[in-house]
Amino acid sequence: MYGLHILREILRAGTRSILRLHVIRQDAQFAEIIRLARSQGVPIVVEPRERINRLVPDGNHQGIVGLVAAKAYVDEDELLDQATQQKTPSLFLVLDSIQDPQNLGAILRTADAAGVHGVFIPKHRSVGLTGGVARASAGAIEYVQVARAGNTNRLLEKLHSINVMTCALDPTAETPYTALDLASPTALVFGAEGEGIRPGVLKKCDQRTNIPMVGRIESLNLSASVAVVLFEAMRQRREAENARVNLT
């Protein structure tokens, strides 16, 4: 992993270990990250820029590279159990066969901002938690729980069994996303770039919704679509919480 921001977030989160940090110098620019690394016993190696350029020939490393343990996935059932024990209604993302690491990273960043309890991606036919995803997430990958589902249809059945509404974003749906009750336990299902949600997965969902469009372009970018619906869910949940507080 490379870059000041993502490595700083990994150290702050403490969710996985950094085996070694390579930096071009130890001045004020790197002071905080070096302090965090030393407090966790991470070895720091000062290297000339040419050496770090060789470690990351195609990226903007900002003068720092870390050898980082892989991001761990959460067990599917464990994530479901954890979410049902939360005080707030469950909010999940189910991502069906997303291939673009930039999109997944951006989605994880939005998921963290919107308070999503967990993200499910397929074990197969999907991009995983790669370095590119981590960088695109701007560090949010350290704070969002991600599970790999062995079978997405069975996952949707499990969600249904614990009274979590599964709602698919489908451009052909008639119901706009603002008409849904997203303050209740909800799993939002999004499909792959271009292909959308697989037909078998779509049939398993309790509801279908769309984002009304008035322009000439038929659809939004996947990560933008996720952001639109998630922040509507967050708005509804805040209103519901405020109403509950006012009643008490």
pLDDT of residue 220: 84
Residue 115's pLDDT band (boundaries 50, 70, 90)? very high
Note whether 222 and 193 are within 8 A (CB): yes
Q: Does residue 58 have a pLDDT over 90?
A: no
CATH number at residue 43: 3.30.1330.30
Residues 186 and 132 in one domain: yes
Residues 143 and 50 in one domain: no
Q: Looking at residue 141, what DSSP letter applies?
A: G
Q: What is residue 175's three-state secondary structure?
A: coil
Residues 82 and 158 in one domain: yes
Residue 27's pLDDT band (boundaries 50, 70, 90)? confident
Total count of residues recorded for the chain: 248
Q: Does residue 216 have a pLDDT over 80?
A: no
- Tally of domains within the chain: 2
Residues 15 and 42 in one domain: yes
CA distances from 173 to 84, 176, 244 (A): 29, 8, 32
Q: How confident is the model over 36-52, as pLDDT tens digits?
A: 999 999 999 999 988 88
In angstroms, what is the C-alpha Rg of the chain?
20
Percent of the chain at pLDDT > 90 equals 61
- If one compares 113 and 132, the residue with the highest pLDDT of the two is 113
- If one compares 186 and 245, the residue with the highest pLDDT of the two is 186
Residues 48 and 121 in one domain: no
CA distances from 205 to 16, 45, 80, 211 (A): 34, 51, 17, 17
Final residue belonging to a domain, choices 68, 97, 120: 68
Residues 90 and 148 in one domain: yes
Residue 217's pLDDT band (boundaries 50, 70, 90)? confident
Q: How confident is the model over 124-165, as pLDDT tens digits?
A: 888 989 888 988 898 899 999 999 999 999 999 999 999 999
- Beta strands (DSSP E) in 124-222 are 146-149, 165-169, 186-190, 207-209
Residue written as token pair 């290297």: 47
18 Cα distance to chain centroid: 21
Residue 222's pLDDT band (boundaries 50, 70, 90)? very high
CATH number at residue 82: 3.40.1280.10
Domain that holds residue 124: 76-247
- If one compares 139 and 211, the residue with the highest pLDDT of the two is 211
